Chains A and B, each alone.
Chain A
């Protein structure tokens, strides 16, 4: 029993960065914009968090830096892909490459990360004693991400803002005929979504990894993209999708520790394999926003 609780808690901890990024992407895709630059956004966020947290010694300052990096990525992406109507896939791919190059180069120049950074604090004991120390040690953002699942789900389902956001992704012309600026709303959604992506990168460094290395995100941005599809563009579904990844990650650590006489590297594949299998099992674009990926041109 205790083991199961521990695995779930660990899974949540490992899923947290992916969940944050996926929720950001969910918001972005819901308004009809496909941002495959999540990986790059996370990488920028992770780098900013590592630099600022290491130099200030304060994890919270690192998080603010991650958030700002995410906003910057969002503005760049939205400027090109929404305002100028450039191809969203190409801009997203460019963002990924840009992030790899820039963070990789600066990492060497600044030599960050070799020294550890301050980790995020755990919430002081919000969880009952019997759940054990792993649950109690979960940091703030794990709980924040779970809360965000509920908030986003509520906004989409029951508020006028959510209705308008969904309509932007389904039938932007209909929203435009109501006198609402499609572009302005989409830019806003993309920037908020990217801010979450940056935050996700920061969480990765400050919450679990403890340091920055080149390519620290290791494809988690793409896992986030997959989780949105797996979750059929709903907040709860996205949570389920990221949990598959998180639980598989937690499990592989345990399997590695068991020393089963198999090359340990094989276990590292497990989370990605699990994500892939889950995605294939849940395939179908039935719930995708109708205007996803299509730039809006007025006139």
Chain B
């Protein structure tokens, strides 16, 4: 693998607004090398791929392509020079056939009938060594694995020098992943440099020649695959820091009474029909904190949404009860005393264009306080909102301000104030409750969660931050591919959780 690297980044960086998504990356990839780019969501790994393929322009640094400094003006130019990208979200038109999508990618604008397009598609597949079956089938009629092969095929003719695969296994079943890996190995053998962008440790360890770990836009670890093991990768990714010394398990007396939250046989499939939660049972007694760790995308979001009653019923099966009341929709969940901090606050917790006060009032259980006469009292509701906002140090605590105008951390404080700071909670569902918070605020949220638990609230804490979970949880489980794996109290919990997160102890 000697010779000129296909691509060599020097101090490559890119910001979005005030966020430094990628900060001075140096990285070289040789022909035929498979390089895994590993990191959590928001670590900057996709940004790096998009820079190399002309979908974004860097705002600092540069890169060499085949030994020459390059600056793409468009993805087209990058593609012609040999840098191709396979996107995480398929760029296929669902209502068109395979042949039409391939023709679209080739870019011809002339007259060509269905038979001609099919012939073109077969020729393209043959050149890449793919089997695509009948190219006259519509994209929305074929499975995800097949869709992805079409997506990859788009990037392979003509054969690129560099192929960036962005989270290619996100939607795939295990068997389809194997097929994909075979394809990738074949490409590398033909001299294509491959960058595999992923947050799955096992993939990096199975497929890559070299592993690069990104965190907050910087390279935090790099080396040949052999120098990594799953536990180390997990630590590097989430930034767990030094070995555990402080904050051991709190020897707290926890009531082990009847479950206030009970989940039976929960199955959730996503919009493509891929199972995300695969038959899950759960019992959570009052006053107990169950921490669910796991690499993002293993079904945690779907689990939280199902318990909150947000999952459409046609996609979720199973029985969920809070305090003995069946949860069928968000209203029953709230009525049963659920507090919810969703992982994606922008999407699921806030309405950006509305004021802070209106956002605080979205959850209606405090109507007596703000609408004593049956309609919302503006003065009272403003006072009430200001008090709560100030209590969580939301800056600025101005009830009339638009929620979208707050910084991310302050938005999270608002959500915490709304969901945690009142007394009628029965179950708290907290997903990434301290994401974006500074140390002080984080400590305060943790203190509040402990306080709630001590007062008898059952807490389900979902976090990709292992440290947070070890700190707060009475019981620990790891979610892997839609299943919960309990971590016993006797073992070294950090070690065991790390291995589980990496999928090491999973039976195939």
Contacts of B74 in A (CB 8 A): 179
Candidate in B94, B95, B103, B108 with the most chain A CB atoms within 10 angstroms: B95
B20 to chain A, nearest CB (A): 17
- Contact bitstring A277-290, B, C-beta under 8 A = 1, else 0: 00000000000001
Asked whether B79 lies within 8 Å of A158 as measured between CB atoms, the reply is no
Asked whether A174 lies within 8 Å of B111 as measured between CB atoms, the reply is no
Contacts of B113 in A (CB 8 A): 158
* Chain A interface residue count, Cβ-Cβ cutoff 8 angstroms: 18
A27 to chain B, nearest CB (A): 16
A171 to chain B, nearest CB (A): 5
Asked whether B76 lies within 8 Å of A166 as measured between CB atoms, the reply is no
A174 to B113, CA, bound (A): 22
Asked whether A159 lies within 8 Å of B105 as measured between CB atoms, the reply is no
Asked whether B94 lies within 8 Å of A163 as measured between CB atoms, the reply is no
Closest to B113 in A: A158
Closest to A179 in B: B76
Asked whether A160 lies within 8 Å of B94 as measured between CB atoms, the reply is no
> Which residues 64-92 of A have a CB within 8 angstroms of B?
none
A129 to B92, CA, bound (A): 52
Asked whether B109 lies within 8 Å of A177 as measured between CB atoms, the reply is no
Contacts of A161 in B (CB 8 A): 109
Contacts of A58 in B (CB 8 A): none
Picked from A158, A180, A290, the residue with its CB within 8 Å of the CB of B94 is: A290
Asked whether B104 lies within 8 Å of A164 as measured between CB atoms, the reply is yes
> Which residues 161-180 of A have a CB within 8 angstroms of B?
161, 163-164, 166-167, 170-171, 173-175, 177-180
B109 to chain A, nearest CB (A): 4
Picked from A160, A167, A171, the residue with its CB within 8 Å of the CB of B112 is: A160
> Which residues 409-446 of B have a CB within 8 angstroms of A?
none
Asked whether B95 lies within 8 Å of A290 as measured between CB atoms, the reply is yes
> Which residues 71-105 of B have a CB within 8 angstroms of A?
74-77, 79, 85, 87, 89, 91-96, 100, 103-105
B59 to chain A, nearest CB (A): 14
Asked whether A173 lies within 8 Å of B91 as measured between CB atoms, the reply is yes
- With contact pairs A174-B91, A175-B104, A177-B91 given, residues A163 and B96 touching in the complex (Cβ less than 8 Å): yes
A171 to B75, CA, bound (A): 17
Contacts of A178 in B (CB 8 A): 75-76, 91, 104-105, 107
Asked whether B96 lies within 8 Å of A177 as measured between CB atoms, the reply is no
A242 to B131, CA, bound (A): 45
Asked whether A159 lies within 8 Å of B109 as measured between CB atoms, the reply is yes
A158 to B109, CA, bound (A): 10
Asked whether A163 lies within 8 Å of B91 as measured between CB atoms, the reply is no
- With contact pairs A163-B104, A177-B55 given, residues A158 and B112 touching in the complex (Cβ less than 8 Å): yes
- Contact bitstring A1-39, B, C-beta under 8 A = 1, else 0: 000000000000000000000000000000000000000
- With contact pairs A164-B104, A179-B79 given, residues A170 and B93 touching in the complex (Cβ less than 8 Å): yes
Closest to A177 in B: B91
Asked whether B111 lies within 8 Å of A177 as measured between CB atoms, the reply is no
Q: Determine if B110 is an interface residue (Cβ-Cβ < 8 Å).
A: yes
Contacts A/B (CB < 8 Å), 15 sampled = A158-B112, A159-B109, A159-B110, A159-B111, A160-B103, A160-B112, A161-B109, A163-B100, A170-B93, A171-B93, A174-B91, A178-B105, A179-B74, A179-B79, A290-B95
Closest 7 CB pairs of A and B: A179-B76, A160-B109, A174-B91, A160-B108, A179-B74, A179-B75, A171-B93
A163-B100, A171-B93, A179-B77 given; 5 more Cβ-contact pairs under 8 Å? A159-B111, A160-B111, A170-B95, A174-B93, A175-B104
> Which B positions have Cβ atoms within 8 angstroms of A?
54-55, 74-77, 79, 85, 87, 89, 91-96, 100, 103-105, 107-114
